[in-house]
Structure 1
């Protein structure tokens, strides 16, 4: 291990490591810039192949409906439309036909019964640029509509308008990277009290992010990995947060070793040898937990798992190779103004975390029971969480034009006009299926079937907004009705059906993946700690912490942010991130507690472990919480909700669960914490181990031996 640790930080090896990363980053930058070319941002692309709405997309391709989204163009004048207004609307409809990617003849214009609004439906084809192409077409339509408007209101809504506004919202991804970087730098400045040192972890994390994006591009291009804009912004905050956490642990240990070793190369080699196993175990646990998302049927979730696991592993690689090389190249001056000189005394350990341990040790059983009850009360809010999906207009935190346009449309036209359900059936049963669909209460009208090559397609206009609960209920009723007539050959799709199938797939994924994650993480902890009781208790604390975070988040979403609800995949993603990252910090704490217990018994081990790891783990938690909180800079409800829930959960886990609940449980359980391992069998294990000749006491990551 000593020789391996010296590889990236030797006198020659440091330059080799830097050169290798420099060579790697050149193609990585080029490939990372092409990640958007392989993104699948359509809801239908996220669904499993056996979803009914997916089948409709495939069967409707021959009718020109699969690769086009409807843009609903709404004009309004509160005092009533004039003949000049109607003439402009008709002229605009003709002009829209000349815009790139607009297909077919516009439907309308259709004037509202009150004479105050008019709408035209234009279909926009998706080209190789996907959403970007639709966004450009919508922008071109807006320029046409807003020209010579003379007080006439103009808005583009419907699926194409929503896609365009989503692109603008996700266009803040570059800003997210900047904000995340600023958050990391500010926290590292406070932690290190050095103006230069934070730049090295930041540069390393940036290199890890670019390299991760390049690898993900190759996987999406050649291995069928599904990625989207959501994957991109989650990857950004996860890589910056997790990689910086690993940097904190390594740098903390390196600073201490610089006081013990005159040669900085030897100091870094020892720091890697001491902190490396804990960092690797932590990253491996997170990566394995994320990889379990591949069990999902929802392609967006299935693709997110390996993409984020790539980010974690590349971040780990960068922090144990590139960062050590940079630190050694820069020498001790990088810690200015407080340089850790050889032979100098380090800062006294303990402080606030020693006092917390002392307070908890007085009555540990009362402390853990009380803490668990408080967390349980916080978790009660989870019953109010509405994670049944968001309508298209509820997905934004602001009021882009698609939201305003839909509000205007709903005041003057049927809520479902312009975005119908799509029904595909065999031509022989088309009229019977049409009759059955017409009899569904939530269907306002059905088009005449279009027949081609033995297949028939018809459109059903919804009475309710496509993303509403009522529309979901109508889709279910429509499926039941057409299945009775046309059997499995009759299928109901469209945007409302896609939303319903997405909700069903997300619910199934949560039921399957959450138990598997718990079992796998338990097995990892059991192998790492060589015990059964400790992993069970740690898993219980993390699940309780997750429930508390989700419960508080539900209350905040409802009563503070006034969000309409949450995406169906929100609970699962929050669970995976909080459980993986929560166990991450528990690994750092409990591995140190176990090492101390080998020498001094469980009670002293628990208190010493808390005192020794408190500062660096708290700093790591602040970094990770800060990076996820930066997601709120995107004007998207999903980003704001996931960012808040994970940030709050990480802080709760770092400050309360790890320091108070886990410590109190360890003190109360005593040697039973390590059942049935060697520590449990030793009774007072420190008496039989501490005096053993040649026993080397190994400190945890980032902390010196005592």
Structure 2
């Protein structure tokens, strides 16, 4: 891709991306309007709830979403309150797509409810606005002293969309701010940080615009969760690629007079690792396409498009902009030709700096490797050399102790609870949840989320009797007939989406399925969420092994070995389990979350394994490069020394961007943000920095089996000059 570095072509690349950003930014801002945040939109086509929803469309207003209005007065509802409820129901009639059910008074006379069937709409913004208008009307007509709320499935969908839409712009600003601060700290330059930040910002707008087009015109399922993840994924991964490329570019600027030549060499050296790491994430994300849930299948392309856009932008726009700006962009720490890059801070001034510079220029080159001097091999000052030296003393002890510590964190998995209910998913007070609590105080909780049974009319009597006799059912009523089918509204005794209500739905299905010629189906909000959970478990058992197999194959192809990829996969999986275990403990006792969504383990796996392998790819490709030049053991130490700082910075950037999800007032996204942020830090600071180098040093050249680097005759051409930092006890 050296053509992008020409003087004219670089300007063309920049102009092209500016045009792309200008064209796609309006679409990116409209992405929330294309989201589908109701659970029914995620269902597999063969699920019983999906088939019931299709059958409901044959009934007048059968595809409507129940909107439950609840009014209560602690001292008991007076006659004027009941009259006001009737007036409210009449005022809400224009919103109803069918008959309004109720008002129904509770046995103790304190609470009444009625249900307004609200027509479904592909325009979620319009749907939410209708719920908002209904709430404004009910609040205005409610008698003083009463509590009133609009809840039910429609209220939950509206509250979820409202939270996503209000937090979207804030998430973008917070994520961009986090990246800007980290880039300022890393580069300590008033100018340099602007180039990668602007590049990743353009990548974000381009990715969001492309996904908006696909969501509107190709049936791609996008929800608030995948939209939020897209932003942090593009910013995090894009900034990582920028850090790795700029670090190698800065290094090459000390070896080349022309910035274009330096960038070409940086792209040649760092480009394959960046492309491989991005490809691994893309392939891992696309494995979600085999999932049953539309939300899983949607997240796969969303993430893949985000990563691909970040990769293309950071390997075209960023290099072109860096080359046009030249060395002065790094001011005040401008890299000069002939200057050895890893000079310590203390040696950057005065006689020490001049001595180091002279040594770098005068040092003889290694035969056959003229770009690497003996000075490079002998002098690698800094904390990462000290880390490598410490690990090199007793590598086996280090990796055993580290593995045991990570294994200890996995014990937290016993605290993992994936039974989060829909009404528990909010981290702030919302009207739909208040309404569910008001209903549950004086009615069977199932009133807030009705269950439906559809069967053949020939078996209507038998179905009604069977449903009424089910122990988990509080009430049942026929709500209409269409053709040869009849529909019953069923109120469950237990709270919607609870374990008890799921058990009641499963029992109800077993009972009605046994009725001859009934062809009965059980659906509704609780049944929908039960089917979603079943599909989530199925997706987890199918996708996780597939991702492991695919990533393992990619590593074999990239590293041209079997042992090294196998060890990397084991370390990443161990890191994932440790992060998930530690997060489970944090969810329960630090954040006080009531549980986790059943899709969390799968999403955490996709991000932590795919992104965790990234950093090991960056390290091990450099280890392999150095092992070919100077031998296995010094190759590990040199690679750790020269990549430690930039990979750690990249990990911190990615963890910080994912931690921005914690600001979301939704439990599910906050949990994803925490587990990925914690897992990335764990992988960056422990697995990649300690465990993998220790294993590599302990196993030695055999880690590259069956490749040629594993053979003894592939030793380095010369023995490098020993540094005081590297002990002589262990041989290459």
TM-score range, shorter chain: over 0.9
* Contact 1:58-1:66 at 8 Å conserved across structures: no
Q: Out of 150, 155, 159, which is 1:165 matched to?
A: 159
Q: In the aligned structure 1, how far is the partner of 2:100 from the partner of 2:329?
A: 64
Q: In the aligned structure 1, how far is the partner of 2:141 from the partner of 2:481?
A: 41
Q: Out of 262, 268, 288, which is 1:267 matched to?
A: 262
After superposition, the CA RMSD in angstroms is 1.7
Match of 1:123 in 2: 117
Match of 2:37 in 1: 41
Match of 1:354 in 2: 385
Match of 1:175 in 2: 170
In the alignment, structure 1 residue 142 sits paired with structure 2 residue 142:
no
Q: Out of 629, 642, 647, which is 1:617 matched to?
A: 647
* Contact 2:636-2:696 at 8 Å conserved across structures: yes
User: Deviation per CA, 1:184-241, whole angstroms, max 9, x where unpaired?
Assistant: 1111111111122222212111211121122223333343322222111011110000
Q: In the aligned structure 2, how far is the partner of 1:195 from the partner of 1:112?
A: 67
Q: Out of 279, 285, 294, which is 2:274 matched to?
A: 279
Secondary structure, in 3 states, of the residue corresponding to 2:591? coil
Q: In the aligned structure 2, how far is the partner of 1:415 from the partner of 1:488?
A: 28
In the alignment, structure 1 residue 407 sits paired with structure 2 residue 437:
yes
| 1:143-292 paired onto structure 2 within 5 Å | 143-147=136-140, 149=142, 150-171=144-165, 172-292=167-287
For residues 488 and 343 of structure 1, do their structure 2 counterparts lie closer, same or farther at Cα, with a shift above 3 Å needed? farther
- Cα distance, 1:373 vs structure 2: 0.8
For residues 429 and 350 of structure 1, do their structure 2 counterparts lie closer, same or farther at Cα, with a shift above 3 Å needed? farther
In the alignment, structure 1 residue 62 sits paired with structure 2 residue 58:
yes
Match of 1:384 in 2: 415
- Cα distance, 1:521 vs structure 2: 0.8
* Contact 1:601-1:684 at 8 Å conserved across structures: no
Secondary structure, in 3 states, of the residue corresponding to 2:316? helix
Match of 1:699 in 2: none
Q: Out of 98, 102, 120, which is 2:96 matched to?
A: 102
Q: In the aligned structure 1, how far is the partner of 2:678 from the partner of 2:713?
A: 39
- Cα distance, 1:330 vs structure 2: 2.7
Q: In the aligned structure 2, how far is the partner of 1:155 from the partner of 1:406?
A: 9
- Cα distance, 1:261 vs structure 2: 2.9
- Cα distance, 1:64 vs structure 2: 3.8
* Contact 2:478-2:486 at 8 Å conserved across structures: no
- Cα distance, 1:350 vs structure 2: 4.2
Aligned residues: 681
- Cα distance, 1:475 vs structure 2: 0.6
Match of 2:299 in 1: 304
TM-score normalised according to structure 2 size: 0.90
Match of 1:12 in 2: 8
Q: In the aligned structure 2, how far is the partner of 1:674 from the partner of 1:345?
A: 30
Q: Out of 646, 659, 684, which is 2:676 matched to?
A: 646
Q: In the aligned structure 1, how far is the partner of 2:621 from the partner of 2:564?
A: 11
Q: In the aligned structure 2, how far is the partner of 1:605 from the partner of 1:285?
A: 24
* Contact 1:597-1:685 at 8 Å conserved across structures: no
Which moves more between the two structures, 172-181 or 117-126?
117-126
- Cα distance, 1:50 vs structure 2: 0.5
For residues 167 and 38 of structure 1, do their structure 2 counterparts lie closer, same or farther at Cα, with a shift above 3 Å needed? closer
Q: Out of 677, 680, 685, which is 2:714 matched to?
A: 685
Q: In the aligned structure 1, how far is the partner of 2:642 from the partner of 2:337?
A: 21
In the alignment, structure 1 residue 324 sits paired with structure 2 residue 319:
yes
- Cα distance, 1:128 vs structure 2: 3.4
Match of 1:700 in 2: none
User: Deviation per CA, 1:602-632, whole angstroms, max 9, x where unpaired?
Assistant: 2211111111110000000000000100001
User: Deviation per CA, 1:27-47, whole angstroms, max 9, x where unpaired?
Assistant: 322333443444332211211
Q: In the aligned structure 2, how far is the partner of 1:289 from the partner of 1:487?
A: 45
Q: In the aligned structure 1, how far is the partner of 2:535 from the partner of 2:708?
A: 45
Secondary structure, in 3 states, of the residue corresponding to 2:71? strand
| 1:67-82 paired onto structure 2 within 5 Å | 67-82=63-78
* Contact 2:61-2:119 at 8 Å conserved across structures: no
TM-score normalised according to structure 1 size: 0.93
* Contact 2:37-2:161 at 8 Å conserved across structures: no
User: Deviation per CA, 1:375-394, whole angstroms, max 9, x where unpaired?
Assistant: 11100111221124x21211
* Contact 2:64-2:119 at 8 Å conserved across structures: yes
- Cα distance, 1:69 vs structure 2: 1.4
* Contact 2:456-2:518 at 8 Å conserved across structures: no
* Contact 2:151-2:448 at 8 Å conserved across structures: no
Q: In the aligned structure 2, how far is the partner of 1:293 from the partner of 1:678?
A: 36
Which moves more between the two structures, 166-175 or 83-92?
83-92
User: Deviation per CA, 1:304-333, whole angstroms, max 9, x where unpaired?
Assistant: 111110110110000011111222233333
In the alignment, structure 1 residue 551 sits paired with structure 2 residue 581:
yes
* Contact 1:11-1:265 at 8 Å conserved across structures: no
Match of 1:577 in 2: 607
Match of 1:696 in 2: none
Q: In the aligned structure 1, how far is the partner of 2:176 from the partner of 2:30?
A: 22
Q: Out of 651, 662, 665, which is 2:692 matched to?
A: 662
Secondary structure, in 3 states, of the residue corresponding to 2:97? strand
User: Deviation per CA, 1:374-426, whole angstroms, max 9, x where unpaired?
Assistant: 111100111221124x2121111122122222112211211111422111111
User: Deviation per CA, 1:451-495, whole angstroms, max 9, x where unpaired?
Assistant: 211111111111111211111001100110111004682111111
For residues 350 and 232 of structure 1, do their structure 2 counterparts lie closer, same or farther at Cα, with a shift above 3 Å needed? farther
Q: In the aligned structure 2, how far is the partner of 1:345 from the partner of 1:667?
A: 26
User: Deviation per CA, 1:620-673, whole angstroms, max 9, x where unpaired?
Assistant: 000000010000111000001000000000000000011111111111111221
Match of 1:113 in 2: 107
Secondary structure, in 3 states, of the residue corresponding to 2:215? helix
Q: Out of 598, 607, 616, which is 1:568 matched to?
A: 598
Secondary structure, in 3 states, of the residue corresponding to 1:444? strand
Unmatched 5+ residue regions in structure 2?
Answer: 344-379, 720-732
Q: In the aligned structure 1, how far is the partner of 2:16 from the partner of 2:222?
A: 28
For residues 123 and 641 of structure 1, do their structure 2 counterparts lie closer, same or farther at Cα, with a shift above 3 Å needed? same
In the alignment, structure 1 residue 85 sits paired with structure 2 residue 81:
yes
Q: In the aligned structure 2, how far is the partner of 1:581 from the partner of 1:505?
A: 25
Q: In the aligned structure 1, how far is the partner of 2:429 from the partner of 2:59?
A: 34
Q: In the aligned structure 2, how far is the partner of 1:581 from the partner of 1:411?
A: 46
Q: In the aligned structure 1, how far is the partner of 2:61 from the partner of 2:332?
A: 65
Q: In the aligned structure 1, how far is the partner of 2:456 from the partner of 2:488?
A: 11
Q: In the aligned structure 2, how far is the partner of 1:475 from the partner of 1:428?
A: 23
Q: In the aligned structure 2, how far is the partner of 1:261 from the partner of 1:487?
A: 81
Match of 1:602 in 2: 632
For residues 144 and 365 of structure 1, do their structure 2 counterparts lie closer, same or farther at Cα, with a shift above 3 Å needed? same
Q: In the aligned structure 1, how far is the partner of 2:444 from the partner of 2:518?
A: 30
Q: Out of 396, 402, 407, which is 1:365 matched to?
A: 396
Unmatched 5+ residue regions in structure 1?
Answer: 692-706
- Cα distance, 1:507 vs structure 2: 0.6
Q: In the aligned structure 2, how far is the partner of 1:239 from the partner of 1:49?
A: 31
